[in-house]
Amino acid sequence: GEDVEQSLFLSVREGDSSVINCTYTDSSSTYLYWYKQEPGAGLQLLTYIFSNMDMKQDQRLTVLLNKKDKHLSLRIADTQTGDSAIYFCAESMRGGSQGNLIFGKGTKLSVKP
């Protein structure tokens, strides 16, 4: 079955880089996503990557995809206290333009001043 795994916690100092890792199982996933959830709030789509890419950069965010190992990572450069949140990795269930997402349990990022 489909499963997305993430480490549960990450703590970094303000100004450092954060790297959040994720592994997934569905090799047919076309897109992989990173969402951010702040306390008491809904999920905010941060970025996504198409499965035929191995890297995508968007301002302070860098996504790396190793399709062979089914490993996805999110790097946040110059981490700020406002980046403290839970980050979810998700894969598209069937690929393509529709269908539900499968989420990991989330990685709680704590940023210390």
Partner 1 sequence: GAGVSQTPSNKVTEKGKYVELRCDPISGHTALYWYRQSLGQGPEFLIYFQGTGAADDSGLPNDRFFAVRPEGSVSTLKIQRTERGDSAVYLCASSDGTSANEQFFGPGTRLTVL
List contacts with partner 1 (CB under 8 A).
4, 30-31, 33, 35, 41-45, 48, 50, 88, 90, 92-93, 96-106
CB of 30 to partner 1, least distance (A): 8
CB of 3 to partner 1, least distance (A): 11
CB of 93 to partner 1, least distance (A): 8
Distances in Å between the Cα of 97 and the Cα atoms of 14, 76, 93, 107, 109 are: 37, 27, 10, 26, 30
Nearer to partner 1 by C-beta: 90 or 111?
90
- Least Cα distance to 26 among 61, 57, 63, 72 occurs for 72
Nearer to partner 1 by C-beta: 53 or 77?
53
Nearer to partner 1 by C-beta: 17 or 57?
57
